[in-house]
């Protein structure tokens, strides 16, 4: 009988599920992980709800770092942030495959293994998306002087992009708002950044929207300057919207000043 561990869509959830599956010491085809809400019941499967704890997460993280190395941890962590339903299975499969290798740190090079390949692909997707957001995030200055940036990513990219901005603007108060997953990365001057996850409802969402509309006086001026800069810098004789879309897909644009 196959045991399937059911967990929530978060790093804590997936790592806790990996912890339980690992403890049970089953072969790869005898265990799996599914995300809550994306379950497709199958025959001959035992569904087990995972108890999600910080301790389990830390233990799994430590194990991956120690035996599979930092680079593999980086890939697995990023894969856990992706928007793919089968990510839990892929991560568990990769870890079990690593167990079979003489040198487990080489696991991410084993691309002919389907689960490893999946993790590699998911990690690359999350990595690319977070890189795009590092590029395309636009801050606006609110009345209070806080820099605020709304984004609507597909994957949970906040934890990948916040460190970059924390290093870049150590003296600023800034905040990145992930509208898809309803969470914030908040940074206060000279302090460490924090992740705030708040499952707010519709009323609260509207309240936030109102609140973040109030911008500082200078803001419109600089927005206008940048808009005209973007327009002027293009060379008319070389116009090529297809090339532009290839580099900057349309779905990133609603939150960017130069396209609004």
Partner 1 sequence: MRIQEAMSVYDKLNILTDAAKYDVACTSSGVSRKNDGTGVGNCKLSGICHSFSADGRCISLLKILFTNECIYDCKYCINRRSNDVVRTAFTPDEICTLMMEFYRRNYIEGLFLSSGVLKSPDYTMELIYATLYKLRNEHNFQGYIHVKAIPGASQELISRVGFLTDRMSVNLELPTAESLKLLAPHKTRKNILSPMRLVQKRMAQNKQELVVYRNAPQFVPAGQSTQMIVGATPETDYQIMQVAESLYQKFELKRVFYSAFVHVNEDSSLPARTDDGPPLLREHRLYQADWLLRYYHFQADELLSEENPNFNVLFDPKCNWALKHLEEFPVEVNRADYKKLLRVPGIGYKSAGRIVRARQLGKLDFADLKKIGVVLKRALYFITCSGRMMYPTKLEEDYIMRNLLDAGEKLPQEVVNMGYRQLSLFDDVRFDTDKVMRVK
Which of 222, 251, 254, 260: binder of partner 1 (CB under 8 A)?
Answer: 222
User: Of residues 220, 228, 254, 260, which one binds partner 1 by CB under 8 A?
Assistant: 228
Scan residues 59-118 and list those touching partner 1 (CB under 8 A).
101, 106, 109-113, 117
Choose the binding region for partner 1 from 6-14, 132-140, 195-203, 207-215 (rule: CB under 8 A): 132-140
Under DSSP, is residue 109 helix (H, G, I), strand (E, B) or coil?
helix
Q: Which of residues 157-196 bind partner 1 (CB under 8 A)?
A: 164-165, 167-172, 190
Question: Would you say 24 or 230 has its CB closer to partner 1?
Answer: 230
DSSP annotation of 180:
T
* Nearest 10 degrees: Cα torsion 79, 23, 16, 32: 50
- Which of 10, 61, 136, 208 touches partner 1 by CB under 8 A? 136
Cβ closest to partner 1, residue 34 vs residue 96: 96
CA atoms within 13 A on the CB side of 5: 28
d(CA 139, CA 216): 12
- Least separation in angstroms between residue 218's CB and partner 1 is 7
Cβ of residue 196: shortest distance to partner 1, in angstroms? 20
Q: According to the binding rule CB under 8 A, does residue 134 interact with partner 1? A: yes
Specify the stretch interacting with partner 1 by CB under 8 A; choose among 29-37, 55-63, 69-77, 136-144. 136-144
Which one, 171 or 203, has the nearer CB to partner 1? Answer: 171
The long-range contacts involving 13-17, CB below 8 angstroms and separated by at least 24 positions, are: 13/50, 13/52, 14/80, 14/87, 14/88, 14/91, 15/56, 15/57, 15/60, 15/61, 15/80, 16/50, 16/51, 16/52, 16/53, 16/56, 16/57, 16/60, 17/50, 17/88, 17/92
Distance, CA of 5 to CA of 17 (rounded, Å): 6
By CB under 8 A, tell whether 232 contacts partner 1: yes
Read off the tokens for 135: 């590029």
In angstroms, what is the minimal distance from the CB of 22 to partner 1?
22
Nearest to 94 by CA among 83, 105, 85, 84: 105
Residues near partner 1 (CB under 8 A): 101, 106, 109-113, 117, 121, 134-141, 147, 149, 164-165, 167-172, 190, 218, 222, 224-226, 228-244, 246-248, 256-258
């Amino acid at each position: 009988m196959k045991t399937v561990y059911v967990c929530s869509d978060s790093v804590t959830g997936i790592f806790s599920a990996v912890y339980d599956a690992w403890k049970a010491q089953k072969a790869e085809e005898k265990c799996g992980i599914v995300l809550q809400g994306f379950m497709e019941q199958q025959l001959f499967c035992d569904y087990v709800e995972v108890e999600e704890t910080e301790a389990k997460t830390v233990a799994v993280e430590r194990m991956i770092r120690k035996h599979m190395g930092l680079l593999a941890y980086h890939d697995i962590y990023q894969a856990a942030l992706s928007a793919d339903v089968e990510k839990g299975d892929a991560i568990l499969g990769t870890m079990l495959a690593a167990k079979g290798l003489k040198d487990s740190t080489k696991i991410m090079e084993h691309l002919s293994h389907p689960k490893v390949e999946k993790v590699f692909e998911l990690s690359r997707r999350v990595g690319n998306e977070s890189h795009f957001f590092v590029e395309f995030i636009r801050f606006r200055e609110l009345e209070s002087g806080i820099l605020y940036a709304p984004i609507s990513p597909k994957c949970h990219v906040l934890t990948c992009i916040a460190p970059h901005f924390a290093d870049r603007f150590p003296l600023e108060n800034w905040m990145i708002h992930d509208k898809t997953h309803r969470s914030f990365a908040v940074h206060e001057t000279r302090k460490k950044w924090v992740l705030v996850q708040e499952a707010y409802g519709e009323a609260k969402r509207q309240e936030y929207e109102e609140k973040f509309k109030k911008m500082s006086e200078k803001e419109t001026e600089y927005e206008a300057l940048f808009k005209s800069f973007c327009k002027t810098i293009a060379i008319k004789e070389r116009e090529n919207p297809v090339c532009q879309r290839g580099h900057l897909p349309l779905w990133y644009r609603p939150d960017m000043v130069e396209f609004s």
